[in-house]
Amino acid sequence: MKGEFEMKMMGELIIFLRLQIMQLDHGTFIHQEKYTKNILKKFKMNEAKVMSTPMHPSNVISSNSEGKSVNEKEYRDMIGSLLYFISSRPNIVFFCKIVC
């Protein structure tokens, strides 16, 4: 690539496209801890109950059968945030489908 483009080292890569990069002796790891905390804070879910994935089959996620009204714009924002998040976390796609 150096033959085609001008390149220079600008230091260790820490964040790229909202993905945090950790370069350790035994490998390079990508995570979204900061993004996750920011969206939880944005939607006031800092204290939400944590569920491990994959979930045990006995856990049940129910739909909003009462038809309670929600803020449509906020709901769309939440879905958009989840869609971006699952692009790097295919293990939670199924659960996002259920809650969306």
- The answer to whether residue 24 is domain-embedded is yes
Q: Is the pLDDT of residue 2 over 80?
A: no
CA 89 to CA 62: how far, in whole Å?
22
Per-residue pLDDT, 12: 85
Per-residue pLDDT, 63: 67
- The answer to whether residue 1 is domain-embedded is no
- The answer to whether residue 2 is domain-embedded is no
- The answer to whether residue 7 is domain-embedded is no
Question: pLDDT (tens digit, 9 = 90+) per residue, 21-71?
Answer: 998 999 998 888 888 899 999 999 888 887 776 667 777 766 666 777 888
The total of other beta-carbon atoms located within 10 Å of residue 73's CB is 8
Taking residues 71-94, report their average pLDDT.
86
- The answer to whether residue 77 is domain-embedded is yes
Q: What is the DSSP string of 4-34?
A: TS-----S---EETTEEEEEETTEEEEE-HH
Range of the domain at 31: 15-56+69-99
- The answer to whether residue 91 is domain-embedded is yes
φ, ψ (nearest 5 deg) of residue 31: -145, 170
- The answer to whether residue 34 is domain-embedded is yes
- The answer to whether residue 64 is domain-embedded is no
Does the pTM surpass 0.85? The reply is no
Per-residue pLDDT, 68: 75
φ, ψ (nearest 5 deg) of residue 53: -125, 145
- The number of domains in the chain is 1
